[in-house]
Amino acid sequence: TKALEMNLVGDPISAYMALDAGLVTRVVPDHELLDSALAWARRLSGQAPIAVREIKLRSAAPGTLDDALAIEGEGFASVFASEDAREGIAAFLGKRKARFGGK
């Protein structure tokens, strides 16, 4: 596969080759890189920290589909039981921006 070849050979690739291979989600001009990265970081930092952590952990979990479904169920249960989940629901119902505390 292309991924195997890239890992074995280790040749540098262009940003657009990385985009085509699904290794990156966007390509921006050099002069926009810092602003683009900071905007993405601000957007990410506004998300519920517990949910972000679970998404990151679960996206890297190996195993079968059944394993993944079990892991996802556990993650959903822990996220839904959090104070952040209650805050997210309250913010939605109150039509305001959520103030997540990571709890």
The answer to whether the CB of 101 falls within 8 A of the CB of 87 is yes
Residue 16 pLDDT more than 90? yes
The answer to whether the CB of 11 falls within 8 A of the CB of 62 is no
What ranges in the chain are assigned the alpha helix state H?
2-9, 15-20, 33-45, 49-59, 65-80, 83-93
Among 35-39, 43-47, 54-58, 65-69, the range of highest mean pLDDT? 35-39
**Rounded distance, CA 50 to CA 82, Å?**
8
Domains in the chain, CATH or no CATH each: 46-103 (1.10.12.10)
**Rounded distance, CA 8 to CA 73, Å?**
36
Q: What is the pTM of this model?
A: 0.53
